[in-house]
Amino acid sequence: DVVLTQSPATLSVTPGERISLSCRASESVDTYLHWYQQKPNESPRLLIKYASQSISGIPSRFSGSGSGTDFTLSINGVELEDLSIYYCQQGNSLPTFGSGTKLEIK
């Protein structure tokens, strides 16, 4: 199995900040790395596909980068509605998810 390690586990933020979340794969997944947002008591929502491709309807402040084993999800100007748990997921082999990064208010 490809293990995805997300860091940090929790990130305390101030609204308006630019932040970066990390996802590291135990082996190369090329760019088959996708990001999801999950708000409390809601289903996950696809944010970014193929490491950096945007999804229709997702605010432009969300962006992704990386390839191989190291990936980053950035939020340019965090808003209160962004307080969620963010998961990365690889699709290069049988799917696996990272353990998530929780965004909370500082």
Partner 1 sequence: QVTLKESGPGILQPSHTLSLTCSFSGFSLSTYGMGVSWIRQPSGKGLEWLASIWWNGNTYNNPSLKSRLTVSKDTSNNQAFLKVTSVDTADTATYYCAHTRYRYNYFDYWGQGVMVTVSS
> How far, in Å, CA of 105 to CA of 70, rounded?
26
User: Binder to partner 1 among 2, 23, 34, 62 (CB under 8 A)?
Assistant: 34
> How far, in Å, CA of 50 to CA of 92, rounded?
10
User: Binder to partner 1 among 3, 26, 50, 77 (CB under 8 A)?
Assistant: 50
Q: In this structure, what DSSP letter does residue 44 have?
A: -
User: Binder to partner 1 among 8, 20, 27, 55 (CB under 8 A)?
Assistant: 55
User: Binder to partner 1 among 32, 62, 71, 86 (CB under 8 A)?
Assistant: 32
* By CB under 8 A, residue 98 contacts partner 1: yes
User: Binder to partner 1 among 43, 60, 80, 106 (CB under 8 A)?
Assistant: 43
Please state the closest distance from residue 50 (CB atom) to partner 1, in A.
8
Q: Sign of torsion, CA 42 43 45 51? A: positive
> Which structure tokens are listed for 33?
């790395």
Positions that interact with partner 1 (CB under 8 A): 1, 32, 34, 36, 43-46, 49-50, 55, 87, 89-92, 94-100
